[in-house]
């Protein structure tokens, strides 16, 4: 361990932070019975459940009207906001009106905006995509609210999904013309 007080503090903060994160993850796995895609800027699930007052302000502020509220049968999550990106995609609004409308810290507008927000992970299935059969399309790239930072077309008109820029909004999943969709939505970490 380094001798300077600053290095010692940094060392203990790193060790303590890792331990707290592991305990929080284990607690969440025991407490959370169902996984939800929360609106952008949401706290980790257990903290979100504690901070959210179930007021509905985020849902009212959503210009696309895609924020839903869990039914009373949702247990600890009853009344909390959630998204279904594959069915009703988030518009990835630059100003995140849902997060700004939250009267608590359950949703918080991140200082770097969408750069640090991921609603989920999108997977591309080229074997389903008609552009790989030589047919023109490009619907996915056209509807992507993030644009070329997340999804573009290569020189042959084929989709190129860029995980580092994709926010997991679900627009490509829903609007893809193939059946099943050439894109699938996954919860973060899955």
Q: Is the pTM of this model over 0.95?
A: no
Provide the b/e sequence for 22-42 (b: ≥16 CB within 10 Å).
eeeeeeeeeebeeebbbbbbb
Domain count, the chain: 2
Residues 82 and 100 in one domain: yes
**10 pLDDT higher than 60:** no
**77 pLDDT higher than 70:** yes
Task: Report the pLDDT value the prediction gives residue 31, as an integer from 0 to 100.
Answer: 55
Residues 109 and 79 in one domain: yes
**Domain range for 137:** 118-186
Instruction: Determine the average pLDDT of the residues in 149-165.
Output: 96
Q: What is the pLDDT of residues 23-75, one digit of tens each?
A: 555 555 555 567 899 999 999 998 999 999 999 999 999 999 999 999 999 88
Identify whether 126 is part of a domain.
Answer: yes
Q: How far apart are CA 115 and CA 65, in angstroms?
A: 23
Identify whether 22 is part of a domain.
Answer: no
3-state secondary structure of 127: helix
């Amino acid at each position: 361990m380094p001798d300077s007080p600053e290095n010692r503090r940094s060392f203990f903060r790193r060790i303590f932070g890792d331990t707290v994160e592991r305990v929080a993850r284990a607690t969440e796995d025991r407490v959370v019975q169902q996984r939800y895609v929360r609106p952008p800027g949401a706290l980790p699930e257990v903290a979100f459940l504690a901070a959210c007052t179930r007021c509905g302000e985020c849902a009212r502020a959503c210009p696309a009207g895609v924020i839903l509220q869990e039914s009373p049968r949702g247990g600890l999550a009853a009344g909390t906001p959630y998204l279904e990106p594959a069915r009703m995609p988030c518009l990835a609004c630059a100003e995140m009106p849902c997060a700004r409308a939250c009267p608590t810290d359950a949703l918080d507008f991140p200082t770097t905006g969408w750069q640090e927000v991921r609603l989920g992970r999108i997977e591309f299935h080229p074997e389903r995509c008609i552009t790989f059969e030589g047919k023109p399309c490009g619907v996915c790239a056209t509807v992507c609210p993030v644009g070329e930072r997340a999804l573009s077309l290569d020189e042959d008109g084929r989709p190129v999904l860029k995980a580092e820029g994709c926010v997991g909004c679900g627009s490509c999943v829903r609007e893809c013309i193939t059946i099943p969709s050439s894109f699938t939505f996954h919860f973060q970490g899955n």
